[in-house]
Amino acid sequence: MSNDGEPIGPSPIGRRHWLRTAGCGFGLTALAALDAEADDPLGARLPHHPARARSVIFLFMEGGPSHLDLFDPKPLLRDLAGQRIPASFAPPITAMGESQSPLLADKRVWRRHGRCGAWVSDWMPHVAAHVDELAIIRSCVADGINHSGGVCQMNTGAVLGGRPSLGAWCVYGLGTENADLPAFVVMQDSDGQVVNGPRNWGAGFMPAVYQGTRVGGTPPIPNLSAPRGLFAERQEGKLDLLGRINGRAAAAFPDHSELAARLRTYELAHRMQAAAPAAVDLAAETAATHRLYGLDDDVTAPFGRTCLLARRLVERGVRFVQLYHGAGSKWDAHSGIEKNHGELCRKVDRPIAGLLADLRQRGLLDSTLVVWGGEFGRTPMSEKGNGRDHNPSGFTMWMAGGGVPGGVTIGATDELGLHAVEDRMHVHDIHATILRILGLDHRRLVWMAQGRPERPTLNEGVPHPLLAG
């Protein structure tokens, strides 16, 4: 699909038709002034190829979780602990400040799990029970050395800001299956600020209507209910006036995508007043479901709530849900990795396992791709004696559901876990794979920006044949 008039599927329902049938108030017809005959940019569209999944839940561990302590055991690290990297190994990238520091052994208990026998450390015992549903990718590669560049690239494909996020590309290509909820939702489990903030889920040079919507807190969607005493007729009158004013401004500035997105947001907010309360009402879930996600434990409850909300959203047709854990780079264990990762894993392990189990038992895992990972991994060299530095040259992510074969391990790092050496998957390959699972060809998904054809993977990347088929 491209914005030069080449849709990937049949035209979605027009905005004028929707307003006529939805009954959201005559004032909202001012939105038609944007382009009365234009197709709805969020209307559901056909994929390029048969899709394996309809939705994505991306579990983003911000700060860089250590593959060496979670999913990629390296016995040689223990043998060479305290020594420098042998000359026979490819040297670390020069930006790693601890490149000459002694190697740091892990302190984990490793076991094989499931029928596939995948190795998982004792920091992830609940996720380990689901390894037969995971495709563990041990050979991920990125370009970002610091958190800003790394998080930016894992979200947008580039280490510098300004490009659309992966979620925005998915919504542009496929639209939404539920016009009463945002197509792209972002959540985090704490009050910390995600590195780069809204740029991670922005639309870049595409219209702002494709950007992510931040949801979370108590209540998850604030200001959703109308103020006391504001009856439907009065609210529609306010929307009518607001629509007329904004419609005139939109007509005067037709290329102002932020204004267009704001107008559609008012329209969406009006519809959400009826649909969203049910979507975010966790009280409607059974006590057994609450326990499954760890809502009965103060440690696991925060991330458990976001995971449960994610399931409820994809269940209702939300296209892309991104959950950030450890906002503020809390997985960044430059020192004290035992305490840091031990606490963080305890917070996420049970909720993630609960999400996988819940999706499976509800028949949603086949249509939902779950992705886990951070912006990079950690080095085998020590930092400050008991921590690890950033490592974009080799780290682990995993995928589950969405038709991805489970119980497989893809690629490998060297014997110290420093560099990916087998079946390397760059961030562009990861994004191309995710898009392909959704039925989108990253080469055909095009937006013309200032006369230049832009694609989500910067004209690079290859979908992994085993993962994407």
Kindly tell me the burial class for residue 287, based on how many C-beta atoms sit within 10 Å of its own C-beta (0-12, 13-18, 19 or more).
exposed
Over residues 417-425, mean pLDDT: 97
CA pair distance 171, 150, nearest whole angstrom:
23
Q: Is 127 helix (H, G, I), strand (E, B) or coil?
A: helix
If asked whether residues 71 and 141 sit together in one domain, one would say yes
If asked whether residues 258 and 302 sit together in one domain, one would say no
Residue 439 included in any domain = yes
If asked whether residues 142 and 64 sit together in one domain, one would say yes
Residue 338 included in any domain = yes
If asked whether residues 290 and 386 sit together in one domain, one would say yes
Q: Could you tell me if 461 and 431 are in contact, meaning their C-beta atoms sit under 8 angstroms apart? A: yes
Over residues 142-150, mean pLDDT: 96
Give the number of domains in the chain.
Answer: 2
Where a domain ends, among 234, 249, 276? 276
Residue 369 included in any domain = yes
If asked whether residues 153 and 250 sit together in one domain, one would say no
Question: How confident is the model over 353-398, as pLDDT tens digits?
Answer: 999 999 999 999 999 999 999 999 999 999 999 999 999 999 999 9
CA pair distance 84, 422, nearest whole angstrom:
23
9-11-16 Cα angle (round to 5): 160
pLDDT of res. 28: 35
pLDDT of res. 346: 98
CA pair distance 308, 242, nearest whole angstrom:
35
If asked whether residues 360 and 463 sit together in one domain, one would say yes
C-alpha distances in Å from residue 290, one per residue of 58, 240, 351? 21, 42, 10
Q: What SS3 string covers 18-46?
A: HHHHHCCCHHHHHHHHHCCCCECCCCCCC
Asked whether the bond before 219 is cis by omega within 30 degrees of 0, the reply is yes
Structural tokens at position 464:
């992994």
If asked whether residues 187 and 304 sit together in one domain, one would say yes
If asked whether residues 261 and 304 sit together in one domain, one would say no
Quick one: pLDDT band at residue 223, thresholds 50, 70, 90? low
Q: Could you tell me if 367 and 53 are in contact, meaning their C-beta atoms sit under 8 angstroms apart? A: yes
The domain containing residue 22 runs over which residues? Answer: 1-40+222-276
Q: Is the pLDDT of residue 218 over 80?
A: no
C-alpha distances in Å from residue 134, one per residue of 71, 309, 425? 11, 22, 16
Q: Is the pLDDT of residue 326 over 90?
A: yes
Where a domain ends, among 255, 276, 297? 276
If asked whether residues 22 and 166 sit together in one domain, one would say no
Q: Could you tell me if 394 and 103 are in contact, meaning their C-beta atoms sit under 8 angstroms apart? A: no
Task: Provide the residue count of the chain.
Answer: 469
Domain holding 451: CATH number? Answer: 3.40.720
Structural tokens at position 276:
């969203």
Residue 312 included in any domain = yes
pLDDT of res. 8: 43
If asked whether residues 392 and 454 sit together in one domain, one would say yes
Structural tokens at position 101:
């520091």
DSSP one-letter string for 177-238: S-TTS-SEEEEESSSSPPTTGGGGG--TTS-GGGS-EE--SSSSSTT-SPPTT--HHHHHHH
Quick one: pLDDT band at residue 280, thresholds 50, 70, 90? confident
Q: Is the pLDDT of residue 7 over 60?
A: no
If asked whether residues 260 and 285 sit together in one domain, one would say no
Q: Could you tell me if 310 and 187 are in contact, meaning their C-beta atoms sit under 8 angstroms apart? A: yes
Helix (H) or strand (E) holding 453: strand 452-454
Question: How confident is the model over 433-442, as pLDDT tens digits?
Answer: 999 999 999 9
CA pair distance 327, 60, nearest whole angstrom:
9
Residue type (1 letter), 228? R
Residue 380 included in any domain = yes
